[in-house]
Chains A and B, each alone.
Chain A
Amino acid sequence: MEKTIANKSVNINDEGYLTDFSQWDKEVGTEIAKEEDIEMTDKHWEVIDFLQDKHHKEEALSIRGIKKSGVINIKEFYSLFPGGPLKKSTKIAGIPKPKSCI
């Protein structure tokens, strides 16, 4: 379905994740973060960059990946994106959340 985020028309799925990364930009990310009650800082964006890079390389996103990222440790990750950090950070990054096969 379509939604207007940051004055831009984007396609999202039922759970509010962008379905087309090319529609993403920082303003869109900031707006999605606001909906999740997150005020973006430089540290947040660093994490978002890292996740997007992993996604483009088709590498799986996991807490282990965060631990080894060199960008942030896990406790900080939780404090930046409280309550389900991976599902929230991926939503802001405009990429799919980590999924199982069902």
Chain B
Amino acid sequence: MKNLVILGAGTSGTMMANHLISRLPKKEWKITIIDQYKTHYYQPGFLFLPFDIYTTKQVKKKGKKFIPKRVRYLQEKIELIEPDKNRVHLEHGETLDYTILIIATGTKIAPEEIEGMKGPKWHKNIFDFYTYEGSKALRDKFREWKGGKLVVHITEMPIKCPVAPLEFAFLADSYFKNKGMRDKVEITFVTPLDGAFTKPKATKALHYLLEEKKIKEVTDFNIERVDFKNNKIIDYADTEVEYDLLVTIPTNMGDALIERSGMGDDLNFVPTDKATLQTLAHENVFAIGDATNLPASKAGSVAHFEAEILTENILRYIDKKPLKEEFDGHANCFIETGNGKALLIDFNYTHEPVEGTFPFPGVGPLNLLKESRMNHMGKMAFRWIYWNMLIKGIHIPFVSATMSEKGKHFEEVK
């Protein structure tokens, strides 16, 4: 019997378990998935929780529900990976040998990386919304907040979902408008990049949103510390931004397990071939989703496309065939713009988001890079798709793992 071990039962790990169970011959392969946590979160929902758009129940379910019965599911902390010995150690002493390993241990926030961030004001007037706890604490804060300076801040790139902070600012504008207190709230978007939008076409098509919603932009801001006593964030050029309520995206890092096992880069992400998803250091170790160092967005949307290609490549690896160099960095995401509208973007490693229609060329019904109510409906429907199709490994009709250029207004490849 050969062992395939999956580390992490989040979006990527769960998808891989579902894909592989029907593809690997059951007489030859045993699949094991390990995760210390019982709960599977719908992480895109953390964006909506603070604004009371989603309830806590809508964003979490028991992880076990989504793991196929024939897969061995271990709820335990992983102590160490020994890739040279093809084995994994669990917290309580069990050792698992593997023939193939899939690392899907994800990304975590690391607020302790910035001085003063995770201090006495953490979850008092300094919040994150990339965790369930942070998002829920922020919801409670918003419910009673009387207004003031709201600063939405990105510490450093890369982050799990690069557009979520911007969506957060848009939704905050709507939320406070609906509460009749928009005039009491000043919204500022602070980014280490050179704009809230960084790609020329998106900037041109979408910058009006910031003006329309009166969101101030502070760019090229590389935070050095949070002065939590005086409610200020300060960057390396000594620029200061004052806040009453700071909503920050802390540094995002791979799991500490990766660091303990000596398998990560500076941020504990696993160096991985960007087209095949095989790790660079070990040919029988593969990595997927936000655990990798791929130059793609660390969102579930990307993981979803990766899962289809990784499944193929694992089968090829077992059959000793060359791996498909197929992953193109494809991502496809809805971006909430507030007021019941959303945008849709579709892009990959080499193509920036452009205007057009999706998924049917020239027809839609979804519009790329344009605000519409239909796109918002798509984003809302996606929660259902996630729980019922995506993590179960059911193919979403008409949406391919690699990007299609049809129906999109490309000028040139940059």
Q: Which A residues are within 8 Å of any B CB, using their own CB?
A: 13-15, 19, 58-60, 62-65, 68, 74-75, 77-78, 82-84, 86-87, 97-102
Chain A residues lying within 8 Å of B295, measured Cβ to Cβ, are 58, 60
Residue of B nearest to A82 (CB): B237
Tell me, in angstroms, the Cα distance from A99 to B198 when the chains sit together.
6
Q: Which 9 A-B pairs have the closest CB atoms?
A: A84-B220, A100-B162, A99-B198, A102-B202, A63-B222, A100-B198, A87-B194, A101-B297, A74-B236
Q: Which of B147-168 contact A (CB under 8 A)?
A: 156-158, 162-163, 166
Q: How far is the CA of A56 from the CA of B50 in the complex (A)?
A: 40
Q: Count A-B pairs with CB separation below 8 Å.
A: 78
Q: Does B257 contact A (CB under 8 A)?
A: no
Are the CB atoms of A74 and B266 closer together than 8 Å?
no
CB distance from B408 to the nearest CB of A (A): 15
The CA-CA distance from A72 to B391 in the complex, in Å, is: 44
Contact of A60 (CB < 8 Å), options: B158, B199, B236, B297: B158
Residues of A contacting B192 with CB < 8 Å? 62-63, 86, 98
A48 to chain B, nearest CB (A): 18
A74 to B347, CA, bound (A): 33
Q: Is the interface of B mostly helix, strand, loop or mixed?
A: loop
**Interface size of B as a range:** 35 or more
A58 touches which one: B236, B267, B274, B414 (CB < 8 A)?
Answer: B274
* Distance in angstroms between the alpha carbons of A64 and B414 in the assembled complex: 27
Least Cβ–Cβ distance between B168 and chain A, in angstroms: 14
**B347 to chain A: closest residue by CB:** A101
CA distance A87 to B166 in the complex (A): 20
- Cβ B200 vs Cβ A13 within 8 A: yes
In the bound assembly, the distance between CA atoms of A68 and B7 in angstroms comes to: 29
CA distance A47 to B372 in the complex (A): 44
Instruction: Give chain B residues whose Cβ lies under 8 Å from the Cβ of A82.
Output: 237
